[in-house]
A and B are shown apart, each in its own frame.
Chain A
Amino acid sequence: MERFIRLSGRAAAMPAANIDTDVIMPKAFLKGIDRSGLAQGLFHDLRFDESGAVRDDFILNRADMAETRFLLVGPNFGCGSSREHAVWGMLQYGIRGIIGASYGAIFADNAANNGLLLLSLPLEQVAALMAELGDGAGDMTVDLDAQRIAIGSYAAAFDIDPATRRALMLGLDRIGETLTHADRIRGFEKAYLGRKPWLMGAER
C-alpha cells in the first residue's frame, strides 16, 4: 500500500449528498477476480453516456482535471454496497484523498485498508473549501504529517484518527500486524468456544 505523507494536486468538487458505491463503481466492472481495470469503471456512468461518449459536463472530464488527485464531496459519500472495487478504482484512477463531512462506514474502512485518505471535516468547512474552488476545481495540498489542508488562500488544520493516520503514513501490512497476536487469538478462541459449545455444534 502506497504511503500518504504530503501531496499537492488537482481537486474536484462533487457536492451531491449520498453518492453511493453503485455510482462510484457500476456493476459492469465487478466481474473480475483480480483488482485490475477499475480506473475505467470509476464514475463510469457519469463520465460516459449510454453510447460510450464522454459527458463534457462531468467535472472529471474537464481538460484541466486530467490529473485529479482529490475529491471534495457531499455528505454520506460512499454509502451503499460494500464493494471495495470503489476504492480500488479511485486509487487506480489517481485519486489519493477525499475530503467530506461523512462517509459510508464500509467505504471508509475500505479506504483506510488501501491507503486512500479520507478526511472528515465539519460541513461548514467542506462548504468553505468548495467555495474556495470557485468553478469546482483547483489545486489543493494535504499535509498528513502536519495535519494541514490548503486550497488557494484557505488553509486549515484537521483532525484525523491517529491509528488511521499512522497506517496511511507507514503503509502497514495489517494482517501481519494482527498475526503478531496469534497466541492471544488462539487462547481467546479456545476459552470462548469451550464456554459456548453450541457454537461448534452448528457447524458441519
Chain B
Amino acid sequence: MSAPKTLYDKIVDEHRILSFDESGAAGERLLLYIDRTVLNEYTSPQAFSGLRAAGRAPWRPAASLGVVDHVNSTNPDREAGELDDGARRQIEYLGENGRDFGIEIFDLFDPRQGIEHVVMPELGLVLPGMVIAAGDSHSTTYGAFGVVGFGIGTSDIEHLLATQTLVYRRLRTMRITIGGTLAPGITAKDLIMEVIRRIGADGAAGHAVEFAGAAIGALGVEARMTICNMAVECGARVALMAPDDKVVEYIAGCPRAPSAGLLTQARAEWQALRSDPGARFDKEIALDAGDIPPMVSWGTSPDQSLAITGIVPDPDDLPAERRADAVRAMAYMGLAPHTPLQDIAIDRAFIGSCTNARLTDLRDAARILKGRKVAPGVRAMISPGSSGVRRAAEEEGIDRIFIEAGFEWRRSGCSLCLAMNDDSLAPGERCASSTNRNFEGRQGIGGRTHLMSPAMVAAAAVTGRLADVRDLAAEERD
C-alpha cells in the first residue's frame, strides 16, 4: 500500500506531466497541467503581446475565460462610467485578444461581468480536483472547492496560454485545523484574520495550506471562499479544503455545471479528494473557533490586526523585530498607541472585493443595516462581487436595505479594494473595508484602510467609527 498522501499532493500528482527531478517531495520541479485560467484586463495584455510576438497561439482556448474587473468604473450607470485612456485601452485589448485567439470574454456590458474570483465559481467553472492558475494573487479562492488555485505573473500567464502547463515547484504542506464553533456574529473573515494575525504575513510562506476541522465543515461554500481567498495574506501559495456535499450542491446549481450524469460520475471521484488518515504535513496548527472575536486591522499589513475590543498596541510592548514596522504603520494610519479601536472615527465604508462581496456577505451586512442609517459625514459604498450577485440581491430586495441606509449601490468590479478605477480614498481618509489588503496607498495615496467583515463594515458605517457588530446585533434582539 502506498504511503498516506495529503490532498495537495494528490492533486499535484494527478496533474504531473513529467518531473524534472523525480523526487516527488517538496521542492520537486515538475511540469504541471493546468485545467483552467481566468484572465483580467490588467495582468494579461503583455502575455498576449508575447504570444503575438512569438507567433504562438493558446494551447486550449476553451480553458480560458477573460473578465473585465480591475479598472472599470462601478458607476451605477454603466454607460456613464468614467474610464481613463489606459483603462479603456486595456479593456479594448482584452476584447481584441479574445476575438483573435478564440477566448470567451465578459466585457463591461456583459450581464455575467464581475470580479474574476466571484464569476468563475458562480458559473460552475471551478470543479474539485482541478488546478487553476490565474494572473491574480487571490486565485487561492478556488481552494474552497478542493482546487489547487494560485496566482501567477504575466510571464507565467503567457507560458500557461502557450502550453497549458507551468513549470512548477511542489510546495511544503501545512494544515490549519479549526475546531469548535464560531460565536454568533463572527464570520469567516474574522477567522482568517485571526489566523493571519497569529502566524504573520509570511507565516505560511512556501506552503500549501489545508484548512480542516469542524468549524470549516460548518461554513457555507461562500464563507470558505473568503478564508481561502485571504490565505494568501499569510503567504500561502495555495489554500485547500476537502470538498464535501455542500460543494457539490453549490456546483449543481450553477449555469455551467456539468450535466447531472457527469456530476454523478464526478462525485464518486471527488470523494477521494481528502488527505488520507495519517498523511504527514510539514507544519500543523490548531485553533478553536469559539475563541475568535470580531477582528479589525489597525496597521498597514494584514497581520497587524486585533479584536475590536482592543487598543492600538504600544510598539514598546511588541517583539523587537516588529517595533519599527509598527511605528511606521501607526504614523501612516494616524493612530496613537493605546487608542481604543472603537474610538476611531471613519470617513468611508466599503463593502466589496473578491474576499467579501458574495450574496451571503451582502445578507450579513444588510441584517445590520436594516432600519439604520449611515452616520452623518460617512460615505458608504457597496460594489457587489458580480453583476449576477447584484441581480440576485435586487431580487431579494437587499438593494433597498442598502440604499435606504444611505449606501451607494454600485456596479461590480474590484473597485476600492485597490482603487485602479475612480473609486479611491483621498489622502488621510479612513475607510472601514471588507477587502483583503491594508497596504500603504492601496485604496488611494495616503488612504487609511481598516480591514474587517462586511457586517463589521455595516456596523462602522452606521456608528461613524469602528464598532463591535455584536453590540448592534444585541440591540436588534432587545
CA separation between A50 and B447, bound complex, in Å?
A: 12
**Cross-chain contact A33 with B89 (CB below 8 angstroms):** yes
A-B contacts counted at CB < 8 A amount to 188
Q: Which of A165-185 contact B (CB under 8 A)?
A: 174-175, 178-179, 181-182, 184-185
**Cross-chain contact A198 with B263 (CB below 8 angstroms):** yes
**Cross-chain contact B164 with A16 (CB below 8 angstroms):** no
- 0 or 1 for each of B3-34: is its CB under 8 Å from A? (1 = yes): 00000000000110110100000000101010
Contacts of B155 on A, CB cut-off 8 Å? 84, 110, 113-114, 174
B177 in the interface (beta carbon within 8 A) = no
Identify the closest chain A residue to B51 (Cβ).
A175
Q: A175-B54, A175-B56 are in contact. Are A197 and B262 (CB under 8 A)?
A: yes
B93 in the interface (beta carbon within 8 A) = yes
A139 in the interface (beta carbon within 8 A) = no
Contacts of A163 on B, CB cut-off 8 Å? 20, 29
**Cross-chain contact B427 with A50 (CB below 8 angstroms):** yes
CA separation between A87 and B156, bound complex, in Å?
A: 13
**Cross-chain contact B162 with A202 (CB below 8 angstroms):** no
Q: Looking at the assembled complex, report how far the CB atom of A6 sits from the nearest CB atom of chain B, in whole angstroms.
A: 24
Q: A79-B202, A163-B20 are in contact. Are A178 and B262 (CB under 8 A)?
A: no
Total residues of chain B contacting the partner, CB 8 A: 83
**Cross-chain contact B325 with A18 (CB below 8 angstroms):** yes
Identify the closest chain A residue to B128 (Cβ).
A198
- 0 or 1 for each of A25-41: is its CB under 8 Å from B? (1 = yes): 01100111111000000
CA separation between A23 and B164, bound complex, in Å?
A: 32
Q: A35-B46, A198-B265 are in contact. Are A22 and B151 (CB under 8 A)?
A: no
Q: Looking at the assembled complex, report how far the CB atom of B361 sits from the nearest CB atom of chain A, in whole angstroms.
A: 22
- 0 or 1 for each of B25-57: is its CB under 8 Å from A? (1 = yes): 000010101010000001101100100001010
CA separation between A157 and B86, bound complex, in Å?
A: 45
Q: Looking at the assembled complex, report how far the CB atom of B269 sits from the nearest CB atom of chain A, in whole angstroms.
A: 7
B152 in the interface (beta carbon within 8 A) = yes
**Cross-chain contact A76 with B235 (CB below 8 angstroms):** yes
Q: Looking at the assembled complex, report how far the CB atom of A32 sits from the nearest CB atom of chain B, in whole angstroms.
A: 6
- CB < 8 Å neighbour of A82 from B49, B60, B135, B437: B135
Binding site for A on B (CB under 8 A): 14-15, 17-18, 20, 29, 31, 33, 35, 42-43, 45-46, 49, 54, 56, 59-60, 62-63, 71, 84-87, 89-90, 93, 104, 124-125, 127, 129-130, 135-137, 151-156, 158-159, 162-165, 167, 201-202, 205-206, 235, 237, 256-259, 262-263, 265-266, 269, 301, 303, 321-322, 324-325, 328, 418-420, 427, 437, 439-442, 445-446
